Amino acid sequence: MAKLMRTVLVGVAIAGAASVMAAAGMRTTAVERGVESAAVEAAAVSDYVIDAVHSAVIFRVKHNEAAYNYGRFNTMDGVVMYDAASGVTGIKVNVDTNSVDTANKNRDDHLRSPDFFNTKQFPRATFKSTSVKRSGDSSFEVAGEFTLNGVTKPITVTLEHTGNGKTRDGKDIAGFETTFTIVRSEYGMNKYLPGVGDEVRLMIGIEAVKQ
């Protein structure tokens, strides 16, 4: 539906621009070519829906200022706006904080409590892009808003496009990856410092299916 609406809006914009220029007696050939080129690019960008089964959100945090402990979230969803020519133009990721998994039930229950993720009150962590800039052949600087524990802050991450492929039934898929670090106390999560470290590294791998 989002893709259809974008295409319709682009078409309306083209028609409107052409009509105005024609009414003004302007020579429109070059301008129309530019508008049509932009329209083709906009129409080509598609929604790639995240396949949670083949995606992952992994985190690490230092314990007692010694070794790193690792965990993951088992449930996520979202969408990547992507086209092979123009690249990534937007992304939104939702993570179910209740799905936290560190391979220890008692610790996981504690992480769900108000001491940490407070999952009853804040069941999701989210990232929504506000701008995207290409930074390399397959990398993008993505600025956006990250929300955790009810606190929203602007962050910028580097998103790597890791490849393209097809599903068993022939649907186009694309892969992406990013690694970044947050300071958990900045999101109101300050219990057990420094025994449980303040810096948390997040590693997110995404496989998404073209709609």
3-state secondary structure 75-140: CEEEEEEEECCCEEEEEEEEEEHHHEECCCHHHHHHHHCCCCCCCCCCCEEEEEEEEEEECCCCEE
Position 112 scores a pLDDT of: 98
- Which burial class, exposed, middle or buried, applies to 156 when counting CB atoms under 10 A from its CB (0-12, 13-18, 19+)? middle
Q: 3-state class of 188 per DSSP?
A: coil
Each residue's pLDDT, cut to its tens digit, for the chain (211 residues) gives 444 334 433 343 434 444 434 444 444 444 344 434 444 444 568 999 999 999 999 999 999 999 999 999 999 999 999 998 889 999 999 999 999 999 999 999 999 999 999 999 999 999 999 999 999 999 999 999 999 999 999 999 999 999 999 999 999 999 999 999 999 999 999 999 999 999 999 999 999 999 9
- Pairwise CA distance, residues 160 & 207, whole Å: 12
Position 45 scores a pLDDT of: 80
Matching residue, tokens 């609406």: 5
- Report which DSSP code applies to 170: S
Closest alpha carbon to 116 in 200, 180, 204? 200
Side chain identity at 5, as an amino acid letter?
Answer: M
